[in-house]
Amino acid sequence: MTVPVITIDGPSGTGKGTLANSLASMLRWHLLDSGALYRIVAVGAESRGITRDNLTDLTAFVRSMEVSFSTEFPGSIVLEGQEISDIVRLEESGNKASLVAVIPEVREALLQRQRAFRRLPGLVADGRDMGTVVFPDSPMKFFLTASAQVRAQRRYKQLINKGVSVNLRGLLLDIQTRDERDSTRAVAPLLPADDAIIMDTDAMNAAQVLAEASNRIRAVLGLDITHTISGNDNLPG
């Protein structure tokens, strides 16, 4: 039996993580946050002194690293016995992830690991190349977009609410640099699949994105998603 997969791709700050989490919990499907895997590679390699030009050690690390995403403690990430979720979620870890993500050997080494998340009853996979490379046979693909300005504003609000002092202009520059790198790399660049539904979330909140996605899922997969998210939810990164 083919295990169903819903793919959600797009740059950071478009609300794809929020949508993926909501869909996975409402459908009770597995969740793959592939960006977290690239972040873990970047953070884990750096703390082991493995540089990006040392392809032998880097790919050996990617193939052998023991990672667990806790279902008991949502958001928890353990790498070889060490809780690393706080460092993995840092803005700078996203930038470092984008740098290791251009390396074809790293992408190749992560491919099977990502596909192993595809288990019954189904998978919601969020990233940059879920619909184009990792799960091209998915019948339900979303590609979320939003302007860099709106994404920087969302991230700014999120960090300020967490008590982190940030500079909006710096965030915007980081987003633009990361978009450029992710979109122009030679292997698996950030691109919508030909059969992806493109959703511009500039003027949408989380509930609206979820409602729109739910309608599409009902139409394409015949699954009915009843959701409870309040209409005022903002879209986080």
- Which residues of the chain form contacts with ligand DC (CB under 6 A)? 12, 34-36, 38-39, 94, 97-98, 101, 127-129, 178, 182
Sequence-ordered alpha helix ranges (H) in the chain: 16-27, 34-47, 55-64, 85-88, 91-100, 104-115, 148-161, 168-184, 206-221
Q: Which is closer to ligand DC, CB of 195 or CB of 218?
A: 195
Q: Could you tell me how far CA 230 lies from the centroid of its own chain?
A: 23
Q: Which is closer to ligand DC, CB of 102 or CB of 223?
A: 102
Closest CA to 144 of 47, 236, 37: 236
Q: Which is closer to ligand DC, CB of 34 or CB of 205?
A: 34
> Which 3-state string (H, E, C) describes 178-214?
HHHHHHHCCCCCCCCCCCCEEEECCCCCHHHHHHHHH
Q: Which is closer to ligand DC, CB of 111 or CB of 223?
A: 111
d(CA 15, CA 32): 15
